[in-house]
Amino acid sequence: MSNAPFDRSIVDAVAHRPWPLPHRPWAMTQSWHNLLFAHWPIDAALLAPKVPKPFELDLFDGSGWLGVVPFEMTNVGPRGVPTLPVLSSFAELNVRTYVRVGDRPGIYFFSLDAASAVAVRAARTLFNLPYHTADMTVESAGRQIRYRSIRRAGADAQFVASYEPISDVFTAPRNSLEHFLTERYCLYQHDHYGRPYRLEIHHPPWPLQNAEADLRRNSMAGASGLHIEGAPTLLHFARRLDVVAWLPTRLDGAG
């Protein structure tokens, strides 16, 4: 992983965003490393019932999409608080689809697995996100990333794969499928009281590369009651992305 410090100047570059930055100060930093986007198309009629209201499944050319996304994180911590490597650096793996509320497209997570039990407890407590603790290892061999994740409890949720970039870096063109799947600036979830919220993020445009991957084991979708078949339709890699996040905002305007 890159040891470069977090780039706080990212909040000054906003021309690529689909809507303005929140007026409130951002609250958290994260740096994402060695990330793989593995995507499968899914029949919207099968996927939509898995997405709770008021979130609406977001479609591209009539199809829903499911992503399995392994990566590593550093610089995870609240604004103004020095990050400690033992607490702010860990591997994460999420299973996601794409939703919108009104004119704001975002991400809905079916699951998030992390190697940090502290991060799992914090995300569950603060944001009611479906985090799970997993035993995870990530190794680099030249350009190749070797990733292994096995959830410690609950449903069988394993991901064992190797992947690497195979193209130059590019920015996804607007209105392309790659842009639809990656350029998302919020997530949607319900809090502990069942109230829907939006959590906004900001980052530069994704520095994508086409990728190839060998998925030896992948039961992540099945652990959430979802079914995918065969190899991913699309594979993209990103070496690093710095991100800031805001505290959630309830969709009813309160809180």
Which domains does the chain show, CATH number per domain?
26-250 (2.40.400.10)
For the chain, report the end-to-end CA distance as a whole number of angstroms: 37
**CB crowding 219-238: b at 16 or more within 10 Å, else e:** ebbebbebebeeebebbbbb
Distance CA 52, CA 142 (A): 42
CA 201 from centroid of its chain's CA atoms:
11
Lowest mean pLDDT: which of 33-47, 82-96, 232-246? Answer: 82-96
The average pLDDT across 195-217 equals 98
pLDDT for position 146: 98
154-203 tens-digit pLDDT: 899 999 999 999 999 999 999 999 999 999 999 999 999 999 999 999 99
pLDDT confidence tier of residue 255, bands split at 50, 70 and 90? very low
H-assigned helices in the chain: 44-47, 85-88, 117-127, 177-182, 220-223
H/E element, 212? strand 208-218
Collapsed DSSP state (helix, strand, coil) of residue 78:
strand
28-57 tens-digit pLDDT: 999 999 999 999 999 999 999 999 999 999
